[in-house]
Structure 1
Amino acid sequence: MVLETLRSPSSAATSTVAASWCRSAFAHGLTPDDVPLRDRLDQAALSAARAEHETMLQVAAPILDNIYRSVGRSGCAVILSDAKGVILEQRSGDGDVAAFTAAGLVEGAIWSEAEQGTNGIGTCLFEGKPVVIHRDQHFASRNVDMSCMDAPVHDPQGRLAGALDISSCRDDHGPAMAEMMAALVRDAALKIERDYFCRHYAGRRIILLSDDAATGSALLAVDRDDLVVGASRAARVRLRLTDDALSKPHPLSQLLGEDVRPSFDDADRTVLRQALAQAGGNASRAARLLGIGRATLYRRLARAGLSS
Structure 2
Amino acid sequence: MPYVRQTSHLDRVRDLIAGRVVNPGADIARLASSYRRALDDYRLDPASTTGPRILTGAELRAVQQSEENFLRSTGQCLPQLHAMVREAGYCVILANAHGVTIDYAVDADQRKEFKKAGLYPGSCWSEDEEGTCGIASVLLDQEAITVHKTDHFRAAFTGLTCSAAPIFSPHGDLIGVLDASALNSPDARDSQRLVNQLVRQSATLIEDGFFLKSYGHCCILLAHRNRHFVEVQPEMLIAVDEHGHIVAANRCARHFIGGMDTLPRPVGEVLEVRAERLFDARAGHKLLSLRVAGSS
Per the normalisation by structure 1, the TM-score is 0.75
For the structure 1 residues 174 and 9, does the alpha-carbon distance in structure 2 shift closer, same or farther, using more than 3 Å as the test? closer
The amino acid that maps onto 2:145 is V
1:106 CA displacement: 1.2
Larger radius of gyration: 1
Give matches, 1:42-61, under 5 Å. Answer: 42-61=56-75
Inter-CA distance 173–53: structure 2 relative to 1 (3 Å threshold): farther
Q: Deviation of residue 255 (structure 1)? A: 2.6
For 1:36-68, what per-residue CA distance to the aligned partner results, in whole angstroms no more than 9, with x for missing partners?
Answer: 652222222211211222122122140111111
Give deviations 1:59-83, integer Å, cap 9, x for gaps.
Answer: 2140111111111222100000001
1:252 alignment partner, one of 267, 283, 291: 267
Deviates more, 1:51-60 or 1:82-91: 51-60
1: CA distance between counterparts of 2:117 and 2:221? Answer: 43
Q: Residue 78 of structure 2 corresponds to which residue in structure 1?
A: 64
Alpha-carbon contact 1:75-1:92 (below 8 Å) kept: no
- The answer on whether the counterparts of 1:217 and 1:234 sit within 8 Å (CA) in structure 2 is yes
- Aligned partner of 1:224 in structure 2 is 242
Q: Give the counterpart letter for 1:241 in structure 2.
A: M
AA in 2 matched with 1:127: D
Deviation string for 1:236-291 (max 9, x for gaps)?
Answer: 3443534xx22xx32111133x5x8x9xxx97xx7xx96xx99xxxxxxxxxxxxx
* Match in the other structure for 1:125: 139
- How far is the alpha carbon of 1:199 from its aligned partner? 1.5
Q: 1:104-135: CA deviations, max 9, x gaps?
A: 11101100111101101111111101000000
**1:5 counterpart letter in structure 2:** L
Any residues of structure 2 matched to 1:22-37 within 5 Å, and which?
22-34=36-48
Q: Which has the higher contact order (CA 8 A, sep 6+)?
A: 2
2:101 maps to 87
Instruction: Tell me by how many angstroms 1:21 deviates.
Output: 1.6
Aligned residues: 258
- Identity, % of aligned positions: 29
**Match of residue 252, structure 2, among 222, 227, 234:** 234
Match of 2:181 in 1: 167
Cα RMSD (Å) of the superposition?
Answer: 2.9
How far apart, in 1, do the equivalents of 2:190 and 2:21 lie? 29
Is the Cα–Cα contact under 8 Å of residues 158 and 236 in structure 1 kept in the other structure? no
The structure-2 alpha-carbon separation of the partners of 1:10 and 1:101, relative to structure 1 and needing over 3 Å to count, comes to: closer
Distance (whole Å) between structure 2 residues aligned to residue 27 and residue 161 of structure 1: 24
Contact 2:94-2:177 within 8 A present in 1 as well: yes
The equivalent of 1:207 in structure 2 is 221
Which structure: greater helix fraction? 1
Give 1:186 shift. Answer: 0.4
Helix, strand or coil: the match of 2:122?
coil
Q: 1:197 to 1:146 in 2, by over 3 A?
A: same
1:187 partner letter: Q
Match of 1:188 in 2: 202
Q: Structure 2 vs 1, CA of residues 17 and 198 (structure 1 numbering), >3 Å: closer, same or farther?
A: same
Q: Can you give the 5+ residue segments of structure 2 that lack an aligned partner in the other structure?
A: 1-11, 227-233, 285-296
User: What runs of 5+ residues in structure 1 fail to find an aligned partner?
Assistant: 279-308
